[in-house]
Structure 1
Amino acid sequence: MKILVVAPSLRLGGLENSVSTMTSWLADAGHSLTLVLCYRGERFYELNDKIDVVEPGFSLSARGKVYFYLSWIRFVRHVIKSKRPDVILSYGDYHNSLVKLSSSFLQVPVVVTDRASPGLKFPLYMRLIRSLTYPKCSGVIAQTQRAALVKKELLKKGVKVKIIPNPVRSFEPSQKVDRKKVVLAVARHYHVKGLDRLIKAFSRLDAPEWELHIAGSLGPETQKLEKMVQGLGLSDRTKFLGSVSNMGLLYSSASVFVLPSRSEGFPNALIEAMSLGCPSIAFDINAGPSEIIQHGENGLIVEDGDIQEMSNAILQLIDNEGLRLSMGHNASKLSNDLNLKSIGEKYENFLKSFVVN
């Protein structure tokens, strides 16, 4: 197949992680891949050398967003015409509609995949554009059962919907390391990631030997989080690690992983931590964690927003090494269910179903 993939960027992030992992697998499987990026910029994730990467020669400027997106639609349409793909795969809640507009009347099937929470409330203009463009797509990939139900309400009967979760990316084999007295979170410093909730929960622990480590790129919440840590007297027990290249080692050396997000689609950090045997805790938000964590078996689910219950759950794992070991062992089985080959073949077969031989 000749597959044209469209994604916002290859910066640090869950969507970008999925894009780099899946496109590289499809290229290794023998397909011709062109990756069109919406924005120019630094790339955090590496790609298979077989993938042709195309970026716009312009950026968001003083002329404003409307001018930029109109130019971007023309740019993507030109790429589609020149590459003549068999199928288009588009990532990104805000860009999928623009990709469908770019491909109008070109007779190329478009498969879109949203990555945010199915409960996300879009601005009115985006809801209108999605209601007009999504029913005209050939297929939609949803990450969870909840997301699939929401999408079906938006689509016509003829549009195929397939539930395909994110794969667990493979990590370089590392030397066996002992787990440290560390509670780990991995997230960008944005309000939706809920790091403030985790810091508050950690501050209530009676566990002075334990540290809180937060990996992830800086963002609009950085100063607020740093002030919160200082104000709660946690400066000597909390480390902001920034972007980390060797995530496998980080997951393998932590004793507890926490996902404190307010909203998620299908969190990569959670499945990565679990696949490497790190017992995990998450709030019961509207989608994602509850379809990954089996409460009491491979992790713990906490009522959304209950800071004290989150603190209690962390303390439960801190105080019980045997429970951490058993949950970590069960969590590591996730790597079998979400291995890259299995998920990659599901993507491959779904895309093939739209290609006319």
Structure 2
Amino acid sequence: MVRKHKLFFAINTLNGGGAERVISNLGNYFYNKGFRVTMVCLNEAKPAYYLEQGIEVISLVRNVRREQFLFRLWYGGVTLFKLLRLLNKEKPDCVVSFMTSANLWMGLTCNILNIPYLVSERITPDYTVNQLNHFLRWLSAKVYSRSKAIVVPSKGMIDGFRKNKSFRGVSNFEVINNPVSKFGSACVNSVYPRKFILSVGRLDRQKGFDLLIKAFKTLQFQDVDLLISGEGAERENLESQIEDLKLKDRVKLIGHQKNLQDYYTQAEMFVLSSRNEGYPNVLVEAMSLGCACVATDCEFGPADIIENEKNGLLVKANSIKYLSEAINRTMSDPVLKIKMSENAQLINQTNSLENTFAKWEKLILNHI
């Protein structure tokens, strides 16, 4: 196949996570459409999700975390130099970057080299650009406003950006929801010996697993366990919490699981306990496989996905009490649970890969 258009996708790493899954699937889509696709990672990391064999993965800088000013200055200089050299040599038709650090580095480089680029933020700006210092907020607004589009997965995120004075005049936003991930067929063999409630995500305070564990402690049901799939910096704190609450036999941190479809289909229900989101992939995944869901009504995304009482339950964010009540209600009301499960699967139509990536394709082709 002759590959006419050259696309670069950029992100900090391709380790497991919602943004990493979306950008991997997006790269696969364009590769199968006949584009030449390169994945650029600012830091070294082995891809967690499947990439088509012909997609090149380039890691710019070895991932060494140091806070010293001189190291950060060196790191920034090396990153910019390598990006300039790479993009000047390859001359991609368009660059698509995900998440703040990749957006800034790629945006600066593309402005210098006059290459079309799109940026995308995947979680609430209150935890990304709005937390930057005054200069970096100003710089972000300049870089983002000169992009062909700022792609966000939920409408609410646009208002989140405009809380920041630097972004109030920025108007090039595009909303493209996250797609349903494609999984292999679910296995009939049990993945766990007891009934279980499932939650999935990076082990980070943002995901609210500490709140979920406290809510689980108060449940009236003793014949069901809680499984949390994911890895991250909060593992040690969560393990200590589980030990302190004497839940070691019933709450399990099971790490990344390649066969998540088996867990979604066998779970009694799925819980999203996040303090904030952008547009939670794991909620979309669980619903697509018919798992009854409870989700916090956090900023942003769950309210765009769940119609309360119809295809899931939305509860006040940061509330152990309301989270516990919603879980108890779902577990004790089989009629509600079946209704939510059946309606949830309609997301396979609204958020299909084909519909979502066709929007990306139209957007990118308009700027090549």
TM-score of the aligned structures, taking structure 1 as reference length: 0.93
Aligned partner of residue 338 in structure 2, secondary structure: helix
The farther-off stretch of 61-70 and 268-277 is 61-70
Write out aligned runs for 1:106-117 (5 A): 106-117=113-124
Question: Is 1:232 matched up with 2:267?
Answer: no
Question: Is 1:89 matched up with 2:96?
Answer: yes
Partner of 2:151: 141
Identity among equivalent pairs (%): 27
1:277, CA displacement in angstroms?
0.5
Q: Can you list the C-alpha shifts for 1:169-214, whole angstroms capped at 9, x where unaligned? A: 1000124578963111112221111100000101011101011111
1:106, CA displacement in angstroms?
1.9
Contact 2:180–2:285 (CA under 8 A) maintained in structure 1: yes
Q: Which amino acid aligns with 2:124?
A: S
1:155, CA displacement in angstroms?
6.8
Question: Is 1:28 matched up with 2:32?
Answer: yes
Partners of 1:94 and 1:133 lie apart in 2 by 12
Aligned partner of residue 242 in structure 1, secondary structure: coil
Distance 1:99 1:155, change over 3 A: farther
Question: Is 1:257 matched up with 2:270?
Answer: yes
Contact 1:266–1:287 (CA under 8 A) maintained in structure 2: yes
Question: Is 1:122 matched up with 2:136?
Answer: no
Q: Which amino acid aligns with 1:353?
A: N
The farther-off stretch of 306-315 and 115-124 is 115-124
- Which of 169, 174, 188 aligns to 2:186? It is 174
Number of equivalent positions: 353
Partner of 2:227: 213
Partners of 1:162 and 1:261 lie apart in 2 by 24
Question: Is 1:319 matched up with 2:332?
Answer: yes
Instruction: Show structure 1 runs of 5+ residues with no match.
Output: none
The farther-off stretch of 163-172 and 173-182 is 173-182
1:72, CA displacement in angstroms?
0.7
TM-score of the aligned structures, taking structure 2 as reference length: 0.91
Q: Which amino acid aligns with 1:135?
A: S
- Which of 263, 271, 282 aligns to 2:295? It is 282
Partners of 1:127 and 1:277 lie apart in 2 by 41
Write out aligned runs for 1:1-357 (5 A): 1-56=5-60, 58-60=62-64, 64-120=71-127, 121-124=130-133, 125-151=135-161, 154=167, 160-176=172-188, 181-217=195-231, 219-355=232-368
Q: Which amino acid aligns with 1:160?
A: N
Distance 1:175 1:243, change over 3 A: closer
The farther-off stretch of 37-46 and 324-333 is 37-46
1:57, CA displacement in angstroms?
5.4
Contact 1:255–1:324 (CA under 8 A) maintained in structure 2: no
Q: Which amino acid aligns with 1:42?
A: K
Distance 1:243 1:178, change over 3 A: closer
1:108, CA displacement in angstroms?
1.3
Q: Which amino acid aligns with 1:28?
A: N
Q: Can you list the C-alpha shifts for 1:227-248, whole angstroms capped at 9, x where unaligned? A: 2222222221111111111111
1:74, CA displacement in angstroms?
1.4
Q: Which amino acid aligns with 2:141?
A: S
Contact 1:256–1:280 (CA under 8 A) maintained in structure 2: yes
1:118, CA displacement in angstroms?
3.2
The farther-off stretch of 286-295 and 44-53 is 44-53
The farther-off stretch of 143-152 and 252-261 is 143-152
Contact 1:74–1:102 (CA under 8 A) maintained in structure 2: no
Partners of 1:344 and 1:75 lie apart in 2 by 29
Q: Which amino acid aligns with 2:136?
A: M
Partners of 1:281 and 1:129 lie apart in 2 by 38
Instruction: Show structure 2 runs of 5+ residues with no match.
Output: none
Contact 1:8–1:92 (CA under 8 A) maintained in structure 2: yes
